[in-house]
Chain A
Amino acid sequence: MEQLMVNILIATGFLAGMGLLLSALLVIAEKSILNFGPCTIDINNSEKILKVKGGGSLLSILARESIFIPSACGGRGSCAYCKVIVKNGGGPVSPVEEPYLSDEERKRNTRLSCQVKVRNDISIEIPREYFSVRKYRGKLISKRPLTHDIFELRIELLEPREITFTAGQYIQLKSKEYKGRESVIRAYSMSSVPSDKNHVELIIRRVPDGICTTWIFDYLEEGQNVGLSGPYGEFKLQPTDSPILFIAGGSGMAPIWSMLRDMREKGIKRKAHYFFGALTQKDLFFLDELRQLERELPDFKFIPSLSREPENSNWTGERGIITDVVKKYIPDTSGYEAYLCGSPGMIDACIKALTSTGMPVEKIYYDKFA
């Protein structure tokens, strides 16, 4: 019995001792070996110059300086959101980055900022909007179902209290751990109006087995705190007078919903059509609100179309897939601008249909949900 106790003590002591020794060694090594001294990061041709301590990844060092590059995987080199242009000082492209960079991106010196180490002076280019990206702490004040699988979340911002964004941009929401699923970061378009600076609204569809949406639907409750960052994204109304085609189904309505209400507030009088594709009547939402907008905006039409509605139902609107309906209403799309939001499959189908009816591809703006 005593022998057993002694054995257990020796084993525990050995493990603890070894662990301590090795971690002490690693900490000392990190402090002494990985000290690259002070480095400067030159952003956008000296628009901003940061003096930092070298050693870490570009992504983490910029985050420490409150410049948040979008990143969903936390620096593991698997999401490829954190692309920036590194003009010099970035070192060679690592094999981790290679699969994510196209030939054109490589020519422009695009890199994954999580894989670039700051070990000397470095100069980079990032979209100016990243300067205004902030981290927010907010409180969920309402969570209501819009359809059987789509919810609207309304979040009140606590710290900082205000967000400045353009209709169509997105934020990144951080989920909390639950039942062994790790915390993840996912991007959602804001559906709120930019003038409502103290709140962020999101329209979210449940993804079967999705880590973040399962957390939102089953675990997140009203009154709880959430973490988010933003605004991100280039999806916004262009300052032209061309007539507009909005095409989005399901939760893809979020940015369009924000843009439409923003147009109403600002008194923008452009001609606009909104084509909304859904399966059946139970997938429709905001019908009354959109009919209301039709009356309030000078030249706006909302056209929902159902592709799987039973033949004999009471539905009197359009039927069939959305690209066919667009063709029926607007046979010639040259002169229009299109704004799409949805799955990659839906976007690709729409781009094909629109270009075949005369729309130049550079007039098509979209947000792809992977």
Chain B
Amino acid sequence: MEATATHGFAGLILIFVSAAFTDNVLLTRFLGMCSCLGVSKKVDTSIGLGAAVTFVTSVTTALNYLVYKFVLLPLDLDFLRFLTFIVIIAAFTQLVEMIIDRYSPSLYYALGIFLPLITVNCAILGISLFMVNKPYNFLEAFLFGAGGGFGWFLAITLIGGIREKINESMLPKGLEGPGITLIIIGIMSLAFIGFSGIIKV
């Protein structure tokens, strides 16, 4: 779209929506697969992990934006972004885990146990890496991260819902667990291709 669409309030919403739908990190880029296959058995746990991923992605994308813009680029250390981003993400999740462990036991039981799982979730690293390829400012980068995380949340919750329904019926032995999940994801990503023509950012 033209400059008019990508600026102002409408532009911000567009960034969020396109990151969540047209560029859905799980369904169009197939990132964050391992934790998705493992945890999407139930809607409850899917929502928990999805929410944790959304939160961590939003904040770490913003943090990584700052580090990239004000440290890596000026020092000409662009090539270190992989290492830098993953270390920052890992440290951040550890820190958040400690904080909610101490101050909010109920939130810890809802989210906290997923935090170690997502320390190495490639979707989160992926979103930070896609972010540096786009000409975003700080707010836009944050919304891009939040949108990407929300897209992952949406996808894993939908998959969890479908798996809950499907487990009630009979499946061939070889398709149980990851097999049927991959087929579900495949069909869902076909559906998400439908979004790709709607917005371009």
Partners in one complex: yes
A residues at B contact (CB < 8 Å): 7, 10-11, 14-15, 18-19, 22-23, 25-26, 29-30, 33-34, 36, 91-92, 94-96, 117, 119
How many angstroms between the C-alpha atoms of A26 and B119 in the bound complex?
14
Among A7, A25, A34, A94, point to the contact of B102 (Cβ < 8 A).
Answer: A34
A14 touches B80 (CB 8 A): yes
How many angstroms between the C-alpha atoms of A6 and B99 in the bound complex?
39
A14 touches B77 (CB 8 A): yes
The total number of A-B Cβ pairs within 8 Å is: 50
| Chain A to chain B contacts (Cβ below 8 Å), 11 pairs | A11-B77, A19-B87, A22-B88, A25-B91, A25-B95, A29-B95, A33-B101, A34-B98, A34-B101, A91-B109, A95-B48
B191 to chain A, nearest CB (A): 28
Considering only CB atoms and an 8 Å cut-off, how many residues of chain B contact the other chain?
23
Residues in B neighbouring A7, C-beta threshold 8 A: 76
How many angstroms between the C-alpha atoms of A119 and B71 in the bound complex?
39
> In residues 77-110 of chain B, which contact A (Cβ within 8 Å)?
77, 79-80, 83-84, 87-88, 91, 94-95, 98-99, 101-102, 105, 109
B42 to chain A, nearest CB (A): 9
B98 touches A33 (CB 8 A): yes
Closest to A97 in B: B113
Among A11, A26, A91, A96, point to the contact of B95 (Cβ < 8 A).
Answer: A26
Closest to A117 in B: B101
B105 touches A119 (CB 8 A): yes
Closest to A96 in B: B113
Beyond A15-B80, A18-B84, is A91–B105 a contact (Cβ under 8 Å)?
yes
Mask of B96-130 contacts with A, CB within 8 angstroms, 1/0: 00110110010001000100000000000000000
How many angstroms between the C-alpha atoms of A185 and B113 in the bound complex?
25
B113 touches A33 (CB 8 A): no
> In residues 32-88 of chain B, which contact A (Cβ within 8 Å)?
44-45, 48, 71, 75-77, 79-80, 83-84, 87-88
Give chain A's interface secondary structure class: helix
A11 touches B80 (CB 8 A): yes
B residues at A contact (CB < 8 Å): 44-45, 48, 71, 75-77, 79-80, 83-84, 87-88, 91, 94-95, 98-99, 101-102, 105, 109, 113
How many angstroms between the C-alpha atoms of A84 and B45 in the bound complex?
24
A22 touches B91 (CB 8 A): yes
A365 to chain B, nearest CB (A): 33
Residues in A neighbouring B83, C-beta threshold 8 A: 15
Residues in B neighbouring A30, C-beta threshold 8 A: 98
How many angstroms between the C-alpha atoms of A18 and B64 in the bound complex?
13
Closest to A13 in B: B75
Among A18, A91, A95, point to the contact of B87 (Cβ < 8 A).
Answer: A18
How many angstroms between the C-alpha atoms of A19 and B80 in the bound complex?
13
B113 to chain A, nearest CB (A): 5
Beyond A33-B99, A96-B113, is A26–B94 a contact (Cβ under 8 Å)?
yes
Residues in A neighbouring B101, C-beta threshold 8 A: 33-34, 117
B87 touches A14 (CB 8 A): no
How many angstroms between the C-alpha atoms of A15 and B86 in the bound complex?
12
A22 touches B87 (CB 8 A): yes
Residues in B neighbouring A92, C-beta threshold 8 A: 109
B80 touches A29 (CB 8 A): no
Q: Apart from A15-B83, A26-B94, A34-B102, what are 5 other A-B pairs with CB-CB below 8 Å?
A: A11-B79, A29-B95, A33-B101, A34-B101, A117-B101
B87 touches A29 (CB 8 A): no
Those 9 A-B pairs whose CB atoms lie nearest each other, nearest first: A22-B91, A33-B98, A33-B102, A92-B109, A94-B113, A95-B45, A34-B98, A29-B98, A26-B94
Residues in B neighbouring A15, C-beta threshold 8 A: 80, 83-84
A349 to chain B, nearest CB (A): 22
Residues in A neighbouring B94, C-beta threshold 8 A: 26
Residues in A neighbouring B44, C-beta threshold 8 A: 95
